[in-house]
Amino acid sequence: MGRVLPGQTIGILGGGQLGRFMGIEARLMGFKTVVLDPTAGCPASQVCDKHIQAALDDEKAALELARLSDVVTLEWELIPMQTLAAVEAVKPLFPSSKVIRNIQDRLAQKDFLYKSGFPQTPYAAVSNMEELRAAVKKLGLPCILKRRTHGYDGKGQFRIKTEDDIPKAVQALEAPCVLEATVAFEREISVLLAIGTDGQSRAFPIAENVHKDGILFSTLAPARVPMPRSDEALVLAERVGQALGHVGVMAVEMFQKKDGSLLINEIAPRVHNSGHYTLGGCATSQFEQHLRAVGGLPLGPTVIESPVVMINLLGDLWKNGEPRWEKLTGQPGVKLFLYGKAKAAPGRKMGHFLFIGDPPDGPLAHAQRLYERLL
């Protein structure tokens, strides 16, 4: 594929906050954008040149998007395979449907990691109560049952602590699942990297993540993972990306165990929430890097000048109306990002803020205190 140059059009499947930031960076770089999303006024529609308002499984609408675009990309790995195939038949699509096929189904993803020899927690496919009982026996308690498809932000998961939880878990998820042994991790990290159409790759500084109730709460970059373990994480992520044949930005979520060793949790073949720190914290944001990668342009530098913390702002903060942003925005080192979502709901990602700096109390503790000003 040739290069996609300023003035040309990038098509985006999915119009949430990730598509929105792609649209904003595309505009800064001089690209045009068209987005496919079912929701009127969705976050990306507010910044893209054109919004095709249709379901993500509407193949005719996807073809229209492809017709208008010079290259097509996605903000979400759960775009239906038929949509991806329809687009791919007419225009370059990055990442390709072949990459997504290995990701969409959690079991396929785990099998891919297993066959490629990557470290991960033991798992088993489960589709009924008997299989679950047998799998729990094999993997041990506690363990986590996850739906094979359509889980995100910890949704579609059930933690099994005792044998009594088994029927509850089956009832709660009602779908083909994967059972995973729970990892007693020391920290969670994610490695974000970009791979270009020429196979060249470049990683961002490793991010360290804290989840609450299965939803990302905060990211600190660079992660407190010293050498040589940090290099090991970078090499692991790079090998995953190359084994997948990925093009674009991707994130590899990992658990670091108490002995320091690393296990892969999951792969996100797209820009990622734990990479939001790069927009404002790094020389090139993950969104700009993604557009460069899928457009066949040289990748940008990923250096970080100072520690940065990202904290997600969930809809719960809106329970008494709009949060009092002035308590946050006047503070040194703070950048606030809101996604333009019409309605707040508990657990819904509405925005995030960055704290950039290296204060004496430590960036994470400092950002936490800033966050508490909103409560």
Ligand X SMILES: Nc1ncnc2c1ncn2[C@@H]1O[C@H](COP(=O)(O)OP(=O)(O)OP(=O)(O)O)[C@@H](O)[C@H]1O
Contacting positions for Mg ion (CB under 5 A): 253, 266
What is the SS3 assignment for 70? coil
Q: Are 173 and 141 in contact (CB under 8 A)?
A: no
Residue closer to ligand X by CB (options 95, 196) is: 95
Taking CB under 6 A as the criterion, the residue among 152, 167, 199, 365 binding ligand X is: 152
The full 3-state SS of 218-234, as one line of letters, equals EEEECCCCCCCHHHHHH
Q: Does residue 153 belong to the site contacting ligand X (CB under 6 A)?
A: yes
Contact with ligand X (CB under 6 A) among 19, 151, 196, 248? 151
Spatial separation of the C-alpha atoms in residues 310 and 333, rounded to whole Å: 12
The CA distances from residue 146 to 14, 116, 117, 183, 309, in Å, are 24, 22, 22, 14, 29
Contact partner at residue 91 from ligand X, Mg ion, none, CB < 5 to 8 Å by partner kind:
none
Beta bridge partners of 195: 201, 248
| Residue 188, contacted partner among Mg ion, ligand X, none, CB below 5-8 A by kind | ligand X
- Looking at the Cβ atoms of 29 and 215, the one nearer to Mg ion is 215
Start-to-end CA distance of the chain, whole Å, equals 50
Q: Which of 58, 180, 208, 288 binds ligand X (CB under 6 A)?
A: 180
The interface with ligand X within residues 238-257 (CB under 6 A) comprises 253
Q: Smallest gap, in angstroms, from Cβ of residue 283 to ligand X?
A: 26
Query: CA-CA distance, 103 to 111, in Å (whole number)?
Result: 10
Q: Which residue has the tokens 């379901």?
A: 55
Pairing state between β 71-74 and 9-13: parallel
Cβ distance to Mg ion smaller for residue 268 or 356: 268
Identified binder of ligand X from the candidate list 104, 121, 218, 278, rule CB under 6 A: 121
Q: Which is nearer to Mg ion, 31 or 118 (CB)?
A: 118
Q: Which is nearer to Mg ion, 33 or 278 (CB)?
A: 278
Token pair belonging to 294: 């899928």
Q: What residues make contact with ligand X under the rule CB under 6 A?
A: 121, 144, 146, 151-155, 180, 182-183, 188, 211, 214, 253, 265-266
